[in-house]
A and B are shown apart, each in its own frame.
Chain A
Amino acid sequence: MPDYKTVSLTLILLGLFGASISILLGFIWVPGIDPTTVQQNSAESYRILFWHVSFAWCSFLSFLMLFVGSILWYLKNDDFGWRLFSTGSDMGLLFGLGVITSGPIWGSVAWGKPWDWGDLRLNSFALLTSVALFLVMSRKSQPDTNQTRDTLSIIGLFGFFLVPITAVATTLYNRRHPPIIIIEGEETGLPDEWLFILTFSFFCFCLLFIGISILNDMVNQLESKIEKYQRAIDRGED
């Protein structure tokens, strides 16, 4: 049996190292954008893309994990499904927080204000992260019973339906957030260097995502084991 602690630590360190390289390359290799086409002082701030977008994509992966876990638990009461659900909600909160803290800092430079309450992308993403926060808090505060798991998995399913809305939000109703720029089109598309660093950064974030997920799952498993021991001690069993 592999030592999962070492595996997760290796993946996390590799992911962090690669992601740091992507920041460095983003500064020294990738050409900047024409400062006359953007708001004053915001030309350099576009380099946030390399981590901000990878964070957002990993949060979508987390919500996919949450969705699969919710379905497995709700339909089959499968314990593996609950493990996916628990890890997915924790990871959704982690990566969601990364997106909604870094985004407004960039927004305050590029738009002149950190948040726009009328923008569908910003608000649907904030709602998605709030759902993850709610699920994490509920899991920690409620007794771990089948009824609690059923209720939370239904909320997890609801949360996932916000993912496609968030993903197409910039196409459907765009006020502030930049549109989808990865796909090559008349007004979209990225220079090759940008695309390379973004892909590399996302790959490193995937390593990080897998490493943290393994670690998170180990902690959740051990916590549930200690809870079982606690119940046995309370009942006076050995």
Chain B
Amino acid sequence: MKLTGLTELAFAYVIMIGIIGGYVWNLFSKLTDVESRISAVEKNFSKNKYEDE
């Protein structure tokens, strides 16, 4: 396949958009995951505290 300058330009833009989009998507899913893990741990901590009392 013979590429023209415009094809490569589009390809470069798609890669740059992909890098940003993928990174932001990854950050949001990580944030959701860590938030749910923290709330589970905190719930567990407060439950243990309540049982001790």
Contact = CB atoms under 8 A, between A and B. Distances in A.
B5 A101 contact: no
A45 B6 contact: yes
A167 interface: no
Which of A106, A109, A110 has the most B CB atoms < 10 Å from its CB?
A: A109
Nearest to A233: B41
Given A225-B38, A229-B38, A212 B27 contact: yes
Contacts of B45: 229, 238
Interface in A186-226: 208, 212, 215-216, 218-219, 222-223, 225-226
B12 to A, nearest CB: 4
Count class of interface residues, chain A: 35 or more
B23 A212 contact: yes
User: SS class of chain A's interface: helix, strand, loop or mixed?
Assistant: helix
Contacts of A47: 9
Interface string A41-73: 111110110011001000000000000000000
A56 B3 CA distance: 26
B46 to A, nearest CB: 9
B38 to A, nearest CB: 6
A48 B13 contact: yes
Interface in A7-65: 12, 16, 23, 41-45, 47-48, 51-52, 55
B4 to A, nearest CB: 5
Which of B9, B11, B49 has the most A CB atoms < 10 Å from its CB?
A: B9
B24 A215 contact: yes
Contacts of B38: 222, 225-226, 229
Nearest to B24: A12
A219 B25 CA distance: 13
B24 A238 contact: no
Nearest to A50: B13
A133 to B, nearest CB: 14
Given A222-B31, A226-B37, A238 B8 contact: no
Contact of B19 (A48, A98, A219): A98
Contacts of A44: 4-6, 9
B20 A208 contact: yes
Contact of B5 (A43, A52, A219, A222): A43
A76 B28 CA distance: 32
9 tightest A-B CB contacts, nearest first? A45-B5, A105-B12, A102-B12, A222-B34, A41-B5, A44-B5, A44-B6, A109-B5, A42-B5
